[in-house]
Amino acid sequence: MSRSTSSTPFEIIPLGGLGEIGMNLMVYGYGGQYIVVDCGLTFPDGDTPGIDIIIPDTSFLAENRDHIVGFVLTHGHEDHIGAMPHIWPDLEGPIYGSSMTLALLKGKFTEHNLLGRATMVEMRNREKFQLGPFNICPIQVTHSIVDASALAITTPLGTIIHTGDFKIDHTPVDDHPTDLHTLAQYGEKGVLALMSDSTNITRSGATTSEREITPVFEEIFPKAKGLLIVATFSSNIQRVQQIISVAASVGRKVILNGRSMLNYVQAAREFGFLDVPPDTLVDIKQFKNYPRNKLVLISTGSQGEPNSSLVRIAAGEHKEVVVQQGDVVVFSSKFIPGNERTIWTLINMLFRNGAEVIHEKNVPEIHVSGHAPEEDLKLMLALTRPQFFVPIHGEPRHLHRHRRLAIKMGVAEEKALVAENGDRVALDGETIQVVDQVPSGRVFVDGKGVGDIGDIVLRDRKHLSEDGMVVAVLIVEKASGKMIQRPELLTRGVVYEDENQELLEEAKEAVELALEMGPKAMDFSEEESAGVRELSQRALRRFFKKRLGRRPIVIPLVMEM
Output the tens digit of pLDDT for each of the chain's 561 residues: 444 556 799 999 999 999 998 999 999 999 999 999 999 998 866 565 556 788 999 999 999 999 999 999 999 999 999 999 999 999 999 999 999 999 999 999 999 999 999 999 999 999 999 999 999 999 999 999 999 999 999 999 999 999 999 999 999 999 999 999 999 999 999 999 999 999 999 999 999 999 999 999 999 999 999 999 999 999 999 999 999 999 999 999 999 999 899 999 999 999 999 999 999 999 999 999 999 999 999 999 999 887 788 999 999 999 999 999 999 999 999 888 778 889 999 999 999 999 999 999 999 999 999 999 999 999 999 999 999 999 999 999 999 999 999 999 999 999 999 999 999 999 999 999 999 999 999 888 765 556 555 555 556 666 566 678 888 888 877 766 677 788 888 888 888 788 888 888 888 888 878 877 765 554 544 333 457 788 888 888 888 888 888 788 888 888 777
Write down how long the chain is. 561
Residue 413 has a CB neighbour count (10 Å cut-off) of 9
Instruction: Spell out the residues 6+ positions from residue 129 whose beta carbon is closer than 8 angstroms to its own.
Output: 96, 121, 123, 135, 136
Exposure of 459 in the CB half-sphere (CA atoms within 13 A):
4
Instruction: Spell out the residues 6+ positions from residue 23 whose beta carbon is closer than 8 angstroms to its own.
Output: 16, 17, 40, 41, 42, 54, 55, 56, 79, 83, 442
Q: If we measure between CA atoms, which residue out of 117, 125, 118, 176 comes closest to residue 152?
A: 125
Distance of CA 277 to the CA centre of its chain: 33
pLDDT value of position 49? 55
Q: If we measure between CA atoms, which residue out of 123, 119, 154 comes closest to residue 138?
A: 123
Widest pairwise Cα distance in the chain: 88
pLDDT value of position 542? 87
Q: If we measure between CA atoms, which residue out of 49, 104, 51, 48 comes closest to residue 74?
A: 104
SS (H, E, C) 174-192: CCCCCCHHHHHHHHHHCCC
Is residue 391 within 8 Å of residue 198, measured between CB atoms?
A: yes
Q: Report the C-alpha gap between 539 and 476 in whole angstroms.
A: 17
Is residue 71 within 8 Å of residue 29, measured between CB atoms?
A: no
Is residue 108 within 8 Å of residue 131, measured between CB atoms?
A: no
pLDDT value of position 524? 43
C-alpha pair distances (Å), 38 with each of 24, 75, 84, 130, 131: 6, 8, 8, 17, 15
Q: Is 28 left (phi over 0), alpha (psi -120 to 50) or beta?
A: beta
Q: Report the C-alpha gap between 25 and 450 in whole angstroms.
A: 17
Is residue 489 within 8 Å of residue 504, measured between CB atoms?
A: yes
Q: If we measure between CA atoms, which residue out of 253, 326, 325 comes closest to residue 287?
A: 253
Task: Spell out the long-range contacts of 340-349 with Cβ–Cβ below 8 A and sequence spacing 24 or more.
Answer: 342/303, 342/304, 342/305, 342/306, 343/302, 343/303, 343/304, 345/304, 346/301, 346/304, 346/310, 346/311, 346/314, 349/311, 349/314, 349/315
Q: How does 342-354 read in b/e, with b if 16+ C-beta sit within 10 Å?
A: bbeebbebbeebe
SS (H, E, C) 401-456: HHHHHHHHCCCCHHHECCCCCCEEEEECCCCEEEEEECCCCEEEEECCEECCCCHH
Catalogue all structural domains in the chain, each as residue range(s) with its CATH number: 10-205+369-450 (3.60.15.10), 210-366 (3.40.50.10710), 468-560 (3.10.20.580)
Q: Report the C-alpha gap between 508 and 515 in whole angstroms.
A: 11
Q: What is the DSSP string of 459-480?
A: HHHHHHHHH-EEEEEEEE-TTT
pLDDT value of position 207? 93
Predicted TM-score (pTM) of the model is 0.82
Phi, psi for residue 410 in degrees, rounded to 5 = 115, -5
Is residue 68 within 8 Å of residue 58, measured between CB atoms?
A: no
Phi, psi for residue 43 in degrees, rounded to 5 = -105, 155
Is residue 447 within 8 Å of residue 52, measured between CB atoms?
A: yes
DSSP count for the chain of H helices, then E strands: 15, 25
Find the DSSP H helices in 468-527: 501-517
